[in-house]
Structure 1
Amino acid sequence: MLVSFVVPCYNEEESLPIFYKEACHVSDILRKEYQAEAEFIFIDDGSSDGTVKELRKLRKKDDRVRFISFSRNFGKEAGLYAGLKNAEGDYVATLDADLQDPPSLMPEMLRFLTENKEYDCVATRRETRKGEPLVRSLFAKLFYKIINKLSGTEIMDGARDFRFMTRKFVDAILDLTEYNRFSKGIFSWVGFKTHWISYKNIERVAGKTKWNFWSLFRYSIEGIAGFSTVPLAFASFLGVFCCDAAFIGIIIVVLRALLFGDPVAGWPSMISIILLIGGLQLFCIGIVGEYLAKTYTEVKHRPIYIIKETDEDNLE
């Protein structure tokens, strides 16, 4: 049995030695309990620090280590896809290098999959968001509520990208070659039975988070636009509602003028209405534009990532 550890990395020079030590400890447990060998696939997402140098060092002392370095930063989604595409294991685990995804859970995850053949994935979620900024936690919870209301694909609140998957599950994911990727949605969309494990939030062992509020906001928009067309229907509904409201308003103004001689209100109210309608129009155009932008990037058929270096290049 071969187990692949897929680890996307971006500026994780400080975390890699700590992660590697923990991963080796877990792989020893897997070997003893399941006679399973391991391979470590690190995906360097165009890091600007010494991440690649650290990966070269690990490769020199351990031939189980493989790595792919991108020509620039393509994003974590591209890193996950590249890792899954190059993983050769019968079982594949995806996890972060900062140890916020505890490798110590992996023996339990593999045990569940081997004992319950009807399941093809063991996924993890955080019980709490302790340690996160309050605003970020609130918006994260709001995002999961919104996307589960709008999308037919259910996404678990607090879901992590830390998963243990069978070969069948991984192959199904790789069949989806879309450029605009939202892995949490893709994992759910492909189906298969998934068992969930909860754990408390764990802080990074080293370095700083690469996610800020704006990047998380953009990521949430990607998720909603990628797995729901409800916003387009909402834009249409809003347009019909505004037209109906305007028609009713015209009738009221005309009747008041004819029956009561009431003069039409002045320019302040008119300007307010114009600004409101104009804002709604721009909002709806923005929704349509988001979907059009996705279509535009998809039809260009650009590669999801470009490789600059791999462990096979033997570069010093």
Structure 2
Amino acid sequence: MDIKDQSTVLSLIVPVHNEEDTIQIFYDAIQKVKPEVGATIDFHFIDDGSTDGTLPILRHLADQDDHVHYVSFSRNFGKEAGLYAGLQQAKGDYVAVMDVDLQDPPELLPQMLSEVQSGEYDAVGTRRADRKGEAKLRSWFSAQFYKWMNKVSQTHLVDGARDYRVMTRQMVNAILSLSENQRFSKGIFTWVGFKTKYIPYENRERIAGTTSWSFWKLTKYAIEGIVSFSTMPLTIVTFLGLLSFGASIVAGIFIVIRALISNSSVAGWPSMVTIVLFIGGIQMLSLGVIGRYIAAIFMETKRRPIYVKKEEK
């Protein structure tokens, strides 16, 4: 296949939420690299319930360019819902996912598409080679997440991997076949398999606007990832339960022997309180972990739609 064949369609999925300051800048940046891409680019903006001027800008772009399409949600459903909606809307021969803030370098797009078109890879993704400009505490927690996630899950995540990637239609169809409600795309991209190459690049700051990803949201996202792709927390809880049970038996034997020898029950109250608090803490921790998995099951059994469309073009 000729990589400069304009009959080839690349569907570009761009989730947005309150990004009125970045959309036009992003669109112009893609137009600059479009000749090098060598394919027709269809934009699929997914408006995740924005409350600023995002939707009017998308309407204007869609009116000016027939290759610009958008879907607007009835409310904020989260980036994962936006990615899923974009994959459903994309009809191109190849599909790319990008963030609108230009932290994903548009100049890499021609190389990524070319390598996928060569047939050697089913997907070409990107990863940050460094975390310059990011808060040190946030960077540390992120590194720890990837480290421990790969220890407790059979699905390997590449440290610093971004959602920014180009995929074949076959891989996209495989991802769409996973219609689970509790979605963690980084894990899904890896779980479906297919040969993937990652291109490293230096971290970039947002071109404009402010991020909607707070530390708390990132923490919740990490927990969802662990619950979605690992049962190791349940194994750990089981181990802690056995450990506390064994410790309580040993402590009980010790207390009985000491009571028989010294005939003093009052003297043992500190150890008794310690044991009770220890076991109680383990139980609460266990209930919390199990409850999180039950909550995931609860949400899946409802079979609610991942998102609700309010407007599209």
TM superposition score category, shorter chain reference: over 0.9
- Paired amino acid for 1:197: I
Helix, strand or coil for the counterpart of 1:129? coil
Q: Unpaired runs of 5+ in structure 2?
A: 1-7
**Which of 166, 169, 177 is residue 167 of structure 1 equivalent to?**
169
Between the aligned partners of 1:228 and 1:50, the Cα distance in structure 2 is 39
Between the aligned partners of 1:18 and 1:242, the Cα distance in structure 2 is 58
Partner of 1:30: 37
- TM-score normalised over the length of structure 1: 0.94
Partner of 1:314: none
Quote how far apart the aligned CAs of 1:110 are: 1.1
Between the aligned partners of 1:124 and 1:188, the Cα distance in structure 2 is 13
Partner of 2:87: 84
Quote how far apart the aligned CAs of 1:263 are: 5.3
Between the aligned partners of 1:195 and 1:287, the Cα distance in structure 2 is 35
**Which of 55, 58, 63 is residue 55 of structure 1 equivalent to?**
58
**Which of 7, 15, 19 is residue 8 of structure 1 equivalent to?**
15
Q: Is the 8 A contact 1:257 1:264 kept in 2?
A: no
Between the aligned partners of 1:188 and 1:237, the Cα distance in structure 2 is 29
Between the aligned partners of 2:254 and 2:44, the Cα distance in structure 1 is 68
Quote how far apart the aligned CAs of 1:123 are: 0.8
Q: Is the 8 A contact 1:13 1:54 kept in 2?
A: yes
- Paired amino acid for 2:86: G
Q: Is the 8 A contact 1:11 1:49 kept in 2?
A: yes
Helix, strand or coil for the counterpart of 2:50? coil
Kindly indicate whether residue 46 of structure 2 is the aligned counterpart of residue 43 of structure 1: yes
Quote how far apart the aligned CAs of 1:108 are: 0.7
Q: Is the 8 A contact 1:253 1:264 kept in 2?
A: no
- Paired amino acid for 2:257: L
Kindly indicate whether residue 248 of structure 2 is the aligned counterpart of residue 246 of structure 1: yes
- Paired amino acid for 1:230: M
Identity level (%): 54
Between the aligned partners of 1:104 and 1:238, the Cα distance in structure 2 is 50
Helix, strand or coil for the counterpart of 2:162? strand
**Which of 91, 102, 105 is residue 102 of structure 1 equivalent to?**
105
Helix, strand or coil for the counterpart of 2:267? coil
Kindly indicate whether residue 22 of structure 2 is the aligned counterpart of residue 19 of structure 1: no
Q: Unpaired runs of 5+ in structure 1?
A: 312-316
Quote how far apart the aligned CAs of 1:233 are: 1.2
Between the aligned partners of 2:230 and 2:54, the Cα distance in structure 1 is 37
- Paired amino acid for 2:194: F
Between the aligned partners of 1:43 and 1:226, the Cα distance in structure 2 is 24
Partner of 2:201: 199
Between the aligned partners of 1:298 and 1:168, the Cα distance in structure 2 is 26
**Which of 93, 97, 115 is residue 96 of structure 2 equivalent to?**
93
- Paired amino acid for 1:19: F
- Paired amino acid for 2:245: C
Out of 265-274 and 196-205, give the one that drifted further. 265-274
Kindly indicate whether residue 64 of structure 2 is the aligned counterpart of residue 64 of structure 1: no
Quote how far apart the aligned CAs of 1:259 are: 4.2
Quote how far apart the aligned CAs of 1:55 are: 0.3
Structure 1 ranges of 4+ moved more than 6 A: none
Partner of 1:221: 223
Q: How many residues align?
A: 306
Partner of 1:111: 114
